[in-house]
Homo-oligomer: A and B are copies of this chain.
Amino acid sequence: MTQPESDSNHLIVDMQPVGRRIAIEVGKTLLDAAQEAGVGLVSLCGGEGWCQSCLVRHTSGEINPPTQSELDYLSDDELKSGFRLACQVIPRTDVRIDIPPESLSTPQRLQVEGVDFDVPLAPIVEVVDLELAPPTIEDLRADADRIEDALAERGLPEVRIELPILTNVSEVLRKQKWSIRLALRENEVIAILPSGSGIYGISVDIGTTKLALYLVDLLTGKVAAKVGEMNPQIAYGEDVVSRIAYATQNPDGRRILQNALVDALNKKIHEVREYAGINDWQIVDAVVVGNTAMHHLFAGLPVEQLVFAPYVPAVNQTLDIRAGDLGISLAPGAYIHLLPNIAGYVGADHSAVILSTELWKTEKTVLAIDIGTNTEISLASRGRLLSCSCASGPAFEGAHITNGMRAAPGAIERVQIMDGQIKLFTIDDEPPVGICGSGILDAVAEMKAANLMDERGALIEGRLNVRRNDADQLEFLLAAASSTGHGRDITVSRKDVNEIQLAKAAIRAGQEILLIKAGITADDVDEVIIAGAFGTYINIPNAIEVGMFPDLPVQRFRQIGNAAGMGAIQALISVEHRKLIEKVIKDVDYIELTTYADFQEEFVKAMYLR
């Protein structure tokens, strides 16, 4: 069976927005279902019904009425809205549930560490401490004028004090007893803080699937906290195109997607603030990166034109937007700096990759590849920078793969096939429950190396563990029911192999076109930088084996993790780096693959397994 089906002993549980369907035995709970499906539902009390951490929302199908535990712990409003504790719910028919982001354990493999960076600390926001004279009957200057005058007395330049600061200026000055620390951003007052307060900034990488947020101490340049989260927009569409469809086809759709993101970011900001023991006024600056669609949806920009040829962004330039205008809770006057986009499908996140990989200044020939649902590739060659984007699809995130899953405990992340033995490695060494991106890539490479299929990806009947399924199609048995966490087989189908072929072919064709455009060949490439969470975990020799990358010595490959996040941090702590990337991006030579005559040919060539 490639798709779970219900029968007299089994019921289907459809889990949204993670997009997992699983058949569970009648009598099992939703928590069992989530665990069998490899969905990381939090369960602190181990299913005893008292920790409330496995909160889910029941949206269709029949289930048992609330148990005493649920009546004790959930409010009437929650129960009315369909909220239940997954450990207490036993489906009576096929059901569908929504899992809110806070009930999901932080994805195990969310990449919040990255390359080291060495950028001189020069944030755009600086501080000035002032002692003001309180007003008296002889000194009737307005409160804001008093600040201006004190700066002038110190010989400092005139500052702008805008509405978000003025709104509270009188109360704050009196509360701080006229002894204050100003946070100043290019001569604009961002916050009026108590004398001596620390100031912080946040960097955010908005991925289509995941968010990564860093809190950075702007007086030291150190990362003070970091946190990851699912992008809550997943509930409105798995990929960029379906989200744009939602945004444009629903009344107020754009605002709904924006609000979902803003709410999630505000929660994360609250978390890192609590962790660092600071208040919202101390966060005086922010840098946000994301692909062009995420960038536009976050800023509330038009997105419809991104899905119609010729796919142009509303804006590529650097943006500085008041945090309050987007509903983000920082210091009253704080701005959010968005790095520039390059094209409709090469966004600010890739600009950040170019920044943090120093592609802008290298004298070597370097390919930088940020693998995701869209894969962005840049090539630095002889002082030129060429970029393109390829639609690699969500296969490497475990989607559209029969037993695919996200990187979570029990996911098969490594596969070795040697001498007729299949060796599996799972995340957290849990019994396998599915295959994540690096695992399926490994599986395909090893199956090919073991000659279980031909160079077109067709499985060869009779070879090791290759068998016919109920639909009389060939499949490869990766893990037998007896060894898995859910007691069912984990298999790789012809279709799964094909998904990987399509994904890797797109990525490879993109590289080849850039090389052709630069007038060089793969052999000229000194370094291949692989960015992104998935890219960090792949087995490079196997990726070469399936033809995802050119056949270069593995020493030339460098896996650097969340380079976009690192670039965002660099832009946060260095105003020079903001100017730098803005300038660099202007000279990027963007190649639109869909219009490139040779693309189809390169793509078909790249479909083959070596």
A interface residues (Cβ-Cβ under 8 A, vs B): 135-137, 139-145, 148, 161, 163, 166-171, 174, 299-302, 304-305, 309-317, 319, 321, 325, 341, 343-344, 590, 592, 595
What are the residues of chain B within 8 A of A592 when measuring CB–CB?
A: 137, 140
What are the residues of chain B within 8 A of A145 when measuring CB–CB?
A: 315-317
Partner of A305, one of B143, B166, B302, B341: B143
Per the bound structure, the CA–CA distance linking A161 and B144 in Å amounts to 28
Known: A305-B143, A341-B142. A135 touches B315 (CB 8 A): no
Other A-B contacts than A135-B310, A140-B592, A141-B312, 11 sampled, CB-CB below 8 A, are A140-B312, A140-B344, A140-B590, A142-B317, A142-B341, A144-B315, A145-B315, A163-B299, A163-B321, A167-B302, A169-B302
The residue of chain B having its C-beta at the shortest distance from the C-beta of A315 within the complex is B144
User: Is A136's CB under 8 angstroms from B302's CB?
Assistant: no
Partner of A300, one of B144, B163, B170: B163
Query: How many identical subunits does the complex contain?
Result: 2
The residue of chain B having its C-beta at the shortest distance from the C-beta of A321 within the complex is B163
Per the bound structure, the CA–CA distance linking A163 and B327 in Å amounts to 13
Nearest CB of B to A175, in Å:
11
What are the residues of chain B within 8 A of A163 when measuring CB–CB?
A: 299-300, 319, 321, 325
Sampled A-B contacts (23; CB under 8 Å):
A136-B310, A137-B309, A140-B310, A140-B311, A140-B343, A140-B592, A142-B312, A142-B314, A142-B341, A143-B302, A143-B314, A144-B316, A144-B317, A161-B315, A163-B300, A166-B301, A166-B315, A167-B302, A168-B302, A169-B315, A170-B301, A170-B305, A174-B305
Per the bound structure, the CA–CA distance linking A1 and B260 in Å amounts to 64
What are the residues of chain B within 8 A of A317 when measuring CB–CB?
A: 142, 144-145, 148
Per the bound structure, the CA–CA distance linking A540 and B378 in Å amounts to 81
What are the residues of chain B within 8 A of A169 when measuring CB–CB?
A: 301-302, 314-315
Per the bound structure, the CA–CA distance linking A139 and B312 in Å amounts to 9
Nearest CB of B to A196, in Å:
24
Nearest CB of B to A590, in Å:
7
What are the residues of chain B within 8 A of A595 when measuring CB–CB?
A: 137
Nearest CB of B to A163, in Å:
5
Per the bound structure, the CA–CA distance linking A311 and B137 in Å amounts to 9
User: Is B313's CB under 8 angstroms from A143's CB?
Assistant: yes
What are the residues of chain B within 8 A of A171 when measuring CB–CB?
A: 302, 304
Per the bound structure, the CA–CA distance linking A304 and B170 in Å amounts to 8
Nearest CB of B to A185, in Å:
16
Nearest CB of B to A600, in Å:
16
Per the bound structure, the CA–CA distance linking A341 and B141 in Å amounts to 11
Nearest CB of B to A306, in Å:
9
What are the residues of chain B within 8 A of A143 when measuring CB–CB?
A: 302, 305, 312-315
Per the bound structure, the CA–CA distance linking A310 and B315 in Å amounts to 49
The residue of chain B having its C-beta at the shortest distance from the C-beta of A163 within the complex is B321
What are the residues of chain B within 8 A of A161 when measuring CB–CB?
A: 315
Partner of A301, one of B141, B167, B309: B167
Nearest CB of B to A517, in Å:
15
Partner of A315, one of B137, B142, B319, B590: B142
User: Is A170's CB under 8 angstroms from B302's CB?
Assistant: yes
Per the bound structure, the CA–CA distance linking A166 and B295 in Å amounts to 13
What are the residues of chain B within 8 A of A301 when measuring CB–CB?
A: 166-167, 169-170
Known: A140-B343, A145-B317, A305-B174. A167 touches B300 (CB 8 A): yes
What are the residues of chain B within 8 A of A309 when measuring CB–CB?
A: 137
Nearest CB of B to A140, in Å:
6
Per the bound structure, the CA–CA distance linking A304 and B166 in Å amounts to 13
The residue of chain B having its C-beta at the shortest distance from the C-beta of A326 within the complex is B163
What are the residues of chain B within 8 A of A144 when measuring CB–CB?
A: 314-317
What are the residues of chain B within 8 A of A343 when measuring CB–CB?
A: 140
What are the residues of chain B within 8 A of A311 when measuring CB–CB?
A: 140
Per the bound structure, the CA–CA distance linking A245 and B171 in Å amounts to 15
Per the bound structure, the CA–CA distance linking A300 and B168 in Å amounts to 9
What are the residues of chain B within 8 A of A590 when measuring CB–CB?
A: 140
Nearest CB of B to A296, in Å:
9
Nearest CB of B to A356, in Å:
23
What are the residues of chain B within 8 A of A315 when measuring CB–CB?
A: 142-145, 161, 166, 169
Q: Which 10 A-B pairs have the closest CB atoms?
A: A170-B302, A144-B315, A142-B316, A142-B313, A137-B310, A170-B314, A170-B305, A135-B312, A137-B595, A143-B314
What are the residues of chain B within 8 A of A137 when measuring CB–CB?
A: 309-310, 592, 595
The residue of chain B having its C-beta at the shortest distance from the C-beta of A135 within the complex is B312
Nearest CB of B to A482, in Å:
55
Per the bound structure, the CA–CA distance linking A169 and B300 in Å amounts to 11
User: Is B316's CB under 8 angstroms from A166's CB?
Assistant: no
What are the residues of chain B within 8 A of A141 when measuring CB–CB?
A: 312, 316
Nearest CB of B to A343, in Å:
6
The residue of chain B having its C-beta at the shortest distance from the C-beta of A254 within the complex is B167
Nearest CB of B to A388, in Å:
12
Per the bound structure, the CA–CA distance linking A309 and B134 in Å amounts to 12
The winner among A144, A148, A343 for most chain B CB atoms within 10 A is A144
What are the residues of chain B within 8 A of A174 when measuring CB–CB?
A: 305
The residue of chain B having its C-beta at the shortest distance from the C-beta of A302 within the complex is B170
Per the bound structure, the CA–CA distance linking A344 and B142 in Å amounts to 8
Per the bound structure, the CA–CA distance linking A312 and B136 in Å amounts to 9
Nearest CB of B to A78, in Å:
27
The winner among A136, A301, A312, A590 for most chain B CB atoms within 10 A is A312
